[in-house]
Structure 1
Amino acid sequence: MRWKVTGWVIRQFGPMVPGMRCQVGLALQATSLTVAGERKAEVEVTPEAAHAFARFWQAHAGCPLMGRNKIVASVCPELHGLFHVKLATLLMLVGGVARRDPGGTRIRGQAHMLLVGDPGTGKSQFQRYVAKLAPRAVLTSGRGSTAAGLTAAAVHDGGGWALEAGALVLADGGVCLIDEFDGIAERDRASIHEAMEQQTTSVAKAGMMVSLNTRAAVFATCNPGRNQRYNPRLPLASQLNIGGPLLSRFDIVIPLLDQAEPGRDEAVADHLLHTHQRRGGSQAAAAGGGGARQRQAEAEAAEGWPLATLRQYLQWCRSSFRPTLGRDAEQLLSAHFRARRAAEGRQASRTTVRMLESLVRVAQAHARLMARSQVGLQDAVVAVWLQEAACVDSQSAAAAHAAAAAADAQSFPDDPDAQYGRLQEAVVGAVMGGGDGGAPPDCYLEY
């Protein structure tokens, strides 16, 4: 937030000591104080844009998942597939609904996201795209940042001390992008615990005791620690150089694997070459005539909305919808939380009470993305799937069934309703059926 201060410049005398020269400084005696620029989203949604978004969902009332996938396709169009990562990125940007308890405790609505994977899987490209898409974004690296650089630092300014805001404070109201998150020194990680959960940072330095807001979503990336490549057979927490208290603060954790599959490699190569061709990087595009131009127009249409339209849509979702939990969604999230807590080989860092709050935030974000005023069963199923996709262990029946049913969900499905039907049957059957994968109750299969 920027302030405009009007006043008189006066002289300010220091303490007078016999035999010593008195120090004289300049000060501003303020007469008025006005807000010059509030720290809010710079995106302004016009009435025409809001009406267009409402018509978009009216046109996709029969198949809302198809409309959602068109929006998801707009994220990082240069990357092939990765549907689950693109969807999670949008949910992180939209966020849940913040609330304040009667006792004064504030429950954050921003969703934190962590991408863990092998080198060359597109983690940095997602961060760069989010930096362009978010209304306010601060990009930093964990290996070159200290606790003061992430929160706030006390600097000596003339005859006194002043505070310099760090990355999390500067990103207040937006997104803080931290690359190589595991590179943060162990002694500096405790300083971001409060900033990520309570969304404030307390500074007690040089006689100053202040509390600064850090209401920002954290989008972090890192490589597996102590392992050159990610091993899906090992628990996630054992492969990261991140402690349990810090890992539990992330609402969405997604592993990215660089698997050598001939079919997928061919699809990725074709996508990259076609992207290079239609953006003027090949002579074939210039000499192809009308057919090449038509293919280019079809490819551009498949990429989804332009960046400016997507930025307006996300702002429209955040400002227009504050969804509440429906009965079916509440029962599914509660049953999943109890099942994960009761699992024999559960991961302690990912099965705390914060897990339930994360599920609620992600489900609310999905309802917002779908322009809904209530969180339904579909939103809860997507939240459970995104969480279990990262923390699959041999003792979790829900995770095993969800991963088996949604193995093809990393690519954009041709029939999203059929794909979601298999996903809902697997997730609800594993959670509500007691973990044996049996048939779930009929009331949970309605869609």
Structure 2
Amino acid sequence: MAVRLSAPGPLAPIAGVRLASVAAGVRKPGRDDVVLLELAPGGRAAAVFTQNAFCAAPVTLARRHLATTAPRYLLINSGNANAGTGGPGMAAAQACCAELARLAGCEPDAVLPFSTGVIGEPLPVDRITAVLPTALAGLDARGWNTAARAIMTTDTVAKGHSVTRDTPHGPLTVTGIAKGSGMIHPNMATMLAYVATDAAVSQTALQRCLERAMGGSFNRITVDGDTSTNDACVLIATGQGAVAVDDLDSPAGETLQAAVDDVCRTLAQAIVRDGEGATKFITVAVEGGRDEAECATVAYAIARSPLVKTAFFASDPNWGRILAAVGYAGLDNLDLDAVHVHLGEVCIVRGGARAGNYTEAQGQAVMAQEEITVRVDLGRGTARTTVWTCDFSYDYVRINAEYRT
């Protein structure tokens, strides 16, 4: 059961993008599991991919294709990751791209493949290629919502968000969808996400915009500490709107960045809210660090600790687990007397020890809530960062124990 998360309302179309979702029976019959996204000529795309050394065949191929030509199509399947499949897996990804290119009249390099699902299973190429004519015929600018559902695996709720912002040159719109529920931990993106804007954006600015947005969204979430083999995030700019951006520090560029940040942050938090078996949404805010990197180190030590996460599930204010995580995060010369920890608005640790006026009842009241903030002040600088995570419940174990059955 996702934590205060519902499926998005109608997502705003982006001029120059059309989508179709079809059922290929990749893993389960009767549900859409292949998405085709078409980008009109003249559009641009930027992307970031997993840093997992065992990256999936489609990740390797998408990187290669993106480096050679502007994409015309994104081909996404759920139910099968096409990872850990060696040479046959690469051949399968290439075959899907080649057949779509033949049908659409473009070069295979203009197709970016993406897969998500079970690792180590052969990709059913014939099932995917068989539905490509139907997908091409069904392309629709309003296809974002159905696409958000089709890319789901263990997700319980489709994830999407749209924003429209005014600029002196006219409005710009950003729409995005994402999937992710488990195997979520940043070493790039930790999920699949596709975000598009109708603004015209230079290639350099587009890549910078995506990387900036990642730093405050998809690279600040964790569900279980595992980085997927298939992570990818793509930012598309069609150039069919009223706004042009060459410099992100210009007024239009700042507006674009804020809009992309908004969409990515909303999608990232939705992934955590829908974490496998999640019952609590937890914000870990670390401040008073020497730099943002050490704040992130402490935040992740807390956010990925199984002992901390199970305490949240039990609504147990076992603050010693949080303090232990801060201690083993590995900061040099940490002054324990300067460390303060708050649970919600309740100070639980002051000067490296239990706060004198703290009571178990205060902590229990905070831990019983569905949304909880842990705030740590390291007392050694001015840097800060925020990480979002969820609890570990019985259902997390059940979902992952039964994932392949």
TM-score, normalised to structure 1's length?
0.26
Larger strand proportion, structure 1 or 2?
Answer: 2
Larger helix proportion, structure 1 or 2?
Answer: 1
Of the two, which has the highest radius of gyration?
1
